[in-house]
Amino acid sequence: MDPMVIAISVLVLASVVAFVIAIGSREKKSRFVEARLQAFRSAENQPKKHGSEPESDAFKHRSYSGIPLLSGVFKRMRGSEATAMMLERSGVPLRVGEFYMIRWGMAFVLFFVPMVFGFSLFNLFFSVVAAAVGYIAPAWWINSKRKSRTKRINGQLVDMIGMVSNSLKSGYGLMQSFEFCGRQLPAPLGLEVRRMLREATLGLTAEDALSAMGRRIDSKDLDMVLTAVNIQRSVGGNLAEILDTVAYTMRERERIRGEISTLTAQQQLTGIVVGGLPVFMFTLFMIINPDYMSILFEEMAGRVVLIGAVVLEIMGYFAMKKIMAIEI
């Protein structure tokens, strides 16, 4: 395929993306403020559906795109809410429409990259694979950001529980204790606590604000804390003592995680060496004797072997990851 055609296609795609972004930025400020305030209005006057999980207005009135028309389209798409929650939990300031635009743009660009070397069935196969990788790669990156952010939040939870417990013992109320934590804790947990307090100030009940924070973070350790708080608010009891017990449980779980990480360090290193050895040898032979390795690209049998090797490498990676995943 002519490289000029590819360049023109990429230019057209960039122009369309810029045009869509420009249209979205022209939305009126008053309309934006109204939409943001609507997301935090209380749902007390709205009838609740029996048999379904309660959902706060902060999630009901979510904006999926800067363009109202596209926001309505993404709202009806299956999986948009799950994607929006994944973006929330990763801390990436993207809307669903922007995220899908990035995925489709990467898939479109990577589809034409193998075609630069000529059109053939083999290059077409690699184009499809490259497009699939370009579409999936942003989701992988977002998922890794989510896991990293959740890990950082779990590391801050013990400090937060200690602050809340000490504040309660000093005579502060629950929301006042969280306000103190929000001022003292750094991001990301401090940011989430401040956001929860802002939602409660704008009309959500304390239970709904805490529940929304739990949904955004998606941490099992935080779920324990919120469950303890909700039970205490329902039936009463010494919340400071309950939080101290939860903090002790979390510290023990973290200690066990550290012991497991120490005991499995050798196996993890073995998996890295075994998985990286074929890639290292392939790269070394390509540098030393490219003609010797050219059969993998020129002959059909070599191409099949190369594709099979890549597939087996990927399967081995996920198998090792699954074996080493130990839940506490």
Give me the pLDDT at residue 27, please. Answer: 45
Please give the Cα distance from 297 to 126 (Å, whole number): 12
Residue from 25, 13, 128 nearest 67 by CA:
25
pTM: 0.70
What's the pLDDT at 152? 92
Provide the token pair at 28.
């009126």
239: number of Cβ within 10 Å:
19
Euclidean distance between CA atoms 278 and 304, whole angstroms: 16
* Res 297: pLDDT: 83
Residues 229 and 210 sit within 8 Å (Cβ to Cβ):
yes
Q: Residue 47's pLDDT is what?
A: 43
pLDDT at 257: 84
State residue 53's pLDDT score. 42
Digitized pLDDT (tens) for each residue of the chain, 328 residues in all: 455 555 555 555 565 555 555 445 444 444 544 555 555 444 444 444 444 444 445 555 667 777 777 777 777 788 888 898 899 899 998 888 889 999 999 999 999 888 777 777 777 888 888 899 999 999 999 999 999 999 899 889 999 999 999 999 999 988 999 999 999 999 899 999 999 999 999 888 888 899 889 998 888 888 888 888 888 888 888 889 989 998 998 889 888 888 888 888 888 888 889 888 999 999 999 899 888 888 888 888 888 888 889 889 888 888 888 887 777 6
- Which tokens is 51 given? 């048999």
3-state SS track over the chain: CCHHHHHHHHHHHHHHHHHHHHHHHCCCHHHHHHHHHHCCCCCCCCCCCCCCCCCCHHHHCCCCCCCHHHHHHHHHCCCHHHHHHHHHHHCCCCCHHHHHHHHHHHHHHHHHCHHHHCCCHHHHHHHHHHHHHHHHHHHHHHHHHHHHHHHHHHHHHHHHHHHHHHHHHCCCCHHHHHHHHHHHCCCCHHHHHHHHHHHHHCCCCHHHHHHHHHHHHCCHHHHHHHHHHHHHHHHCCCHHHHHHHHHHHHHHHHHHHHHHHHHCHHHHHHHHHHHHHHHHHHHHHHHHCHHHHCHHHHCHHHHHHHHHHHHHHHHHHHHHHHHHCCCC
